[in-house]
Amino acid sequence: MRILLIFVMNLFLISCQDNKTREKTNEGIENIMKSVQNDSTQEPTKADLLLTEKNIMNFLLDYGKKNKENTVRLTTDYGTIDILLFENIKFHRANFIMLTKKKYFDNTQFYRVISNFVIQGGNSDDRITLKKRQAIGKYLLPNDHDKGYKHDRGMISMPSKNIENPYKKASPFEFFIVQQQQGAHHLDGDYTIFGKVIRGMDVVDTIATVPTDKSDWPLQNIFIREIKVLKSVSYTHLTLPTTPYV
């Protein structure tokens, strides 16, 4: 009888240990899955303030005062591109810095490439980019085209939303770089120029030559692996328009 009791007690202890082990294993798997999901999606945590047409201008005005950086570096599949953001295009500069710090641009693509014209980036065909946008908000930026800038080679501009947009307000998540040697001056007045390539036009030229489909999407995806903020630079040593900065 004593032997039977000992045998039953051992079975009970083994069962308890198995349950604890299973609980720890399941907990470990859940933690790993959460870690993998976080690392793979890199989705930002939802901000307290969801940006809208009503609050975006006040938000960017305040954000720009607190975040005065004006230089960023794009790391692409073909090399790096350094961009100077114009301080007098204050809403667009603040918006680009904000999206950079939120890591919105990381792993987006140059999705529209037209040789001897422009390369356009900031979007992709995956759901992660859409979720990032939804977490940030839904808004457009005003067309700020009267600061004396032209769509010269190397200028950074912001495309307009195509539908129901008579004032050509800009899509805040996307941008294009003028690659054409003579510039793309037929775009002047319709789109907001808010920066300039200061290093890496050879990378822009390389990207502009890749094969594309009929919609100008590269046959092989060209990723913007990362955009990061650099130490701000002075305009003093750069060739920029002579229009006074305001």
What is the value of pTM for the model shown?
A: 0.76
| Residue 189 confidence (pLDDT) | 87
By residue count, the chain amounts to 246
Q: Which helix (H) or strand (E) holds 202?
A: helix 201-208
Q: d(Cα 150, Cα 143) in Å, to the nearest integer?
A: 14
Assess contact for 79 and 200: CB atoms under 8 A.
yes
What CA–CA distances, in Å, run from 58 to 23, 37, 65, 94, 139? Answer: 50, 34, 11, 11, 13
Q: d(Cα 150, Cα 155) in Å, to the nearest integer?
A: 8
> One digit per residue, pLDDT tens: the chain, 246 residues?
444 444 444 444 444 444 443 443 344 334 433 433 443 334 444 445 899 999 999 999 999 999 999 999 999 999 999 999 999 999 999 999 999 999 999 999 999 999 999 999 999 988 999 999 999 999 999 888 778 899 999 999 998 755 455 556 788 999 999 999 999 999 998 899 999 999 999 999 999 999 999 999 999 999 999 999 998 877 654 555 433 332
| Residue 147 confidence (pLDDT) | 86
| Residue 14 confidence (pLDDT) | 45
| Residue 196 confidence (pLDDT) | 98
